[in-house]
Amino acid sequence: MKLAESGEILMYYQSPYRTVKSKPKIIKVAGEGKISIEPDIAEIRLGVSTENSALAKAQEENARAISDIKKALTTAGIPENEIKTADYSIHPQYDYVEGRQVFKLTRNK
């Protein structure tokens, strides 16, 4: 029982004919987080590409360019053991003459 503001008595009761359905027990959680820190690692990828009709000459030119890059990086304070070669590849170059593939190094000029 409950007393209303007007002074009358209010009574609440549950109907015996009404079925009560239980609700599933669900917990819903939502959140968001942010963090900001100063980076302490940087990854830089550099590349050198050289074309030459003589493979050995192209390799020498590439080696010289990479050596200059490594010197600049170590001068900037990056330890040499932190500098690594990730890829090294050689690809032949071709021309297409009259619909045929011609190897550049063997073609007479």
Cβ-contact 79, 70 below 8 angstroms: no
The per-residue pLDDT string of the chain (109 residues; one tens digit each, 9 = 90 and over) reads 555 566 666 666 566 666 656 677 888 888 999 999 998 888 888 889 888 878 899 999 999 999 999 999 999 999 999 999 888 888 888 888 888 888 876 444 4
The structure's pTM equals: 0.53
Q: Phi/psi of residue 100, each to 5°?
A: -115, 145
